Amino acid sequence: MFPTKKFFLLGILQVLFAATAFSENEVFIPVTTANNALVFKVDNNHKLRQCYYGDKLNPSDYPSIQVSTADAFPTFGTSNINEAALRAVHADGNTSTELIFDSYTTEKAGDGVELTTITLKDTFFPFLVKLCFKAYQKDNVIEQWSEIRHTEKKPVMLYNFASSHLFFSDNNYYLTQFFGNWAEEMKMEEVKLTRGQKVIESKLGVRTNSFAHACFYLSLNGQAQENAGKVIGGTLAWPGTWNLTFDVDQLNNLHMISGINPYASQYSLKPNTVFKTPSFLYTYSSEGTGNVSRNFHRWAKQYGIYRGDKTRTTLLNNWEATYFNFNEEVLSNIIKDASNMGFELFLLDDGWFGDKHPRNDDTQGLGDWMVNKKKLPNGLGYLVNEATKNKIKFGIWLEPEMVNPKSELYEKHPDWVIGQPNRPLDLQRNQLILDLSNPKVQEYVYSVIDKTLSENPGIAYIKWDCNRYITNSGSYFESPQNQSHLFIDYVHGFFTVLDKVRAKYKNVSMMLCSGGGGRIDYATLPYFDEFWISDNTDALDRIFIQWGTTQFFPAMALASHVSACPNGITGRTIPLKFRFDVAMSAKLGMDLQPKDMSPEDKEFSKKAIQEYYGIRGIVQFGDLYRLLSPYTNTRTALMYVAENKNEAVVFTYLLKKTITGNTQPLILNGLDPQKTYTVTEINKDPKSYSWFSPLDGKTFTGEFLMKYGLRFTMYNEYDSKIIKLTSK
């Protein structure tokens, strides 16, 4: 039966009354950055309400914001009928939690960083929740998390424990999500949110970004645009299981909840113990998604990535040249080649270890981190010295969290792996995961890093890999009643190891790899200098993979390598210049081996590496502006602009051949309209005619380039251009 018109109108009046009939002396709590404001108020029932999130207002206007009906941190078991941010069963079996406002503090938490802490308390139980907000003023990023604590006599069981709840009341909502699989990471797709829930989540435990990524755009009142429109960008800083829930309620309001995925993860919280949730990072822009990306990139270089102020090195990896089949002579020659090409570091990949079970393929040896003397009779130190003689640095591949059943480690400690008793082993890539909830395992994993680096002090770089996710999710360390703690305690154990590594080895660079981009997040990246987003180095695919990745993560840390052709994954053959031009738009590296190149290609590559050094500072430290999306154009383009706007570099690629030629203008962005810029094509292909030639060396004002743009035809599939702009 449908409600009558009379009762429907009565319901609307009740909602309006609820939104306005509060005391005139409410407590209001603004969390502000340079351009954004998140405002809370306390109603006359002592409930904390989120009232506003958007462009920053005049402080005198905050008291005029109406108190909303949006509970700042909705709980289960009382009046809330929407998704709960918190669900707990108290020691006496009571399933309800009713939180009211207790107090708040605001304090300085660093240069340009302000911490606001709002304390909520249960109306009956000695149970507290702190909502914590770090506001990064210059970058317009808010970092939010919750802290749950109680003093009940017995443990409280937590079933839902969100990091944040955000509330929006607009006409419509468009969500851009990021997803993929191995070798096709960070695809983008936008959908309109309709009534009900849209849930994006991971239940994988480890390598949890393998199929979906915990970041999103939320566009209000229309589809997301690059340079216009109201949009929120958010990402969860957590390498474990995660959940993003978007719930459009019966009044077309949107409730957005982020945090650890509660699936199979109920947590028994002891008295006087703090359960701290992961940080949810978000920013608001009224100028489209491009501004959201730049907010995150600027924030990341100072707070989100290890040594974000340091230039990233170029490297040559041996993997595609040798796979597991190498010896000292082969590697010594590759080191010499790397030096002669102009690279700064040589990386030795998988296959250098194992004694009883030598690592000659991926079926054995993982976990036994002693040098394979048959391959390397003089140890790693010999190769480190070879690199030093050739005036480059040396790096090493490790996968310390993993073990092959065919290994000495597993033979000694079968109870150190994640698995279920009375169940067969479930292998991925012939390997199992070590249980980092176990302190003994944590110590072992740390010892792997410590022993490798302390015995070979010249090692300057570690590629830290992680090639599978959790199945058979049982722990031989956790108690029977706390098996559901595994997904959370594993992450805490992982961070314990990383804390010890970074405390001792501050100057060793580390790459975060996880079978590609399976573990890219802002809780893990503060320990790592860079990340490997995909095992797929096909330049055409990489355009899309890197386009999605750089929506939230800066190109300075995105390792992008030139590989052999046909490509080992896709089988596609792409010109060498195109491969270099794509890799140079991020952090350049190479798997293609100099010994396999023609003299002509080798000479081109050496020059390209030197060209990269000329623009590296702009790419790694400049602001990113996306000009033409590969999702909607046959030609794509992006550019980086130096902070002082004196230099910029434009990358453009033709994805599909056009018979009459692609004449899309490149309308540039981010320049100083008052400055004049000389445009110069770099990394030229000496064998091909360039339609850019009539513009090459010409000078234009920034205003002209941002209104009229650069106009030249591109004809051929895999045509590409790198254009440097220099202000006089």
Catalytic residue positions, numbered: 465, 535
Please check whether residue 53 is in contact with residue 284, taking contact to mean a CB–CB distance below 8 angstroms. Answer: yes
As a whole number of angstroms, the distance between CA 456 and CA 471 comes to 35
DSSP alpha helices (H): ranges in 107-146? none
Please, are residues 553 and 529 in contact by the beta-carbon 8 Å criterion? no
Beta-ladder partners of 147: 130, 276
Give yes or no for a contact between 660 and 351, defined as CB atoms under 8 angstroms apart.
Answer: no
Query: How far, in Å, CA of 163 to CA of 85, rounded?
Result: 8
Q: Cβ(639)–Cβ(303) under 8 Å?
A: no
CA distance 587 to 533: 11
Phi, psi dihedral angles at 446 (to 5 degrees): -60, -40
CB 458 within 8 A of CB 379: no
The answer to whether the beta carbons of residues 474 and 418 sit under 8 Å apart is: yes
Helix (H/G/I), strand (E/B), else coil: 304 = helix
Instruction: Mention every residue, 6+ apart, whose C-beta is less than 8 A from residue 446.
Output: 497, 500, 501
- Kindly state the helix (H) or strand (E) to which residue 460 belongs, with its residue range: strand 459-464
- Strands in 596-675 per DSSP E: 623-628, 635-641, 647-654
66 DSSP 8-state letter: P
Residues 6+ apart with CB under 8 A from 4: none
Handedness of CA 404, 405, 407, 410 (dihedral sign): positive
Closest to 638 in 3D by CA, of 685, 612, 670:
670
| Cβ–Cβ under 8 Å, residues 470 and 417 | no
CA angle 404, 405, 406 (to 5 degrees): 85
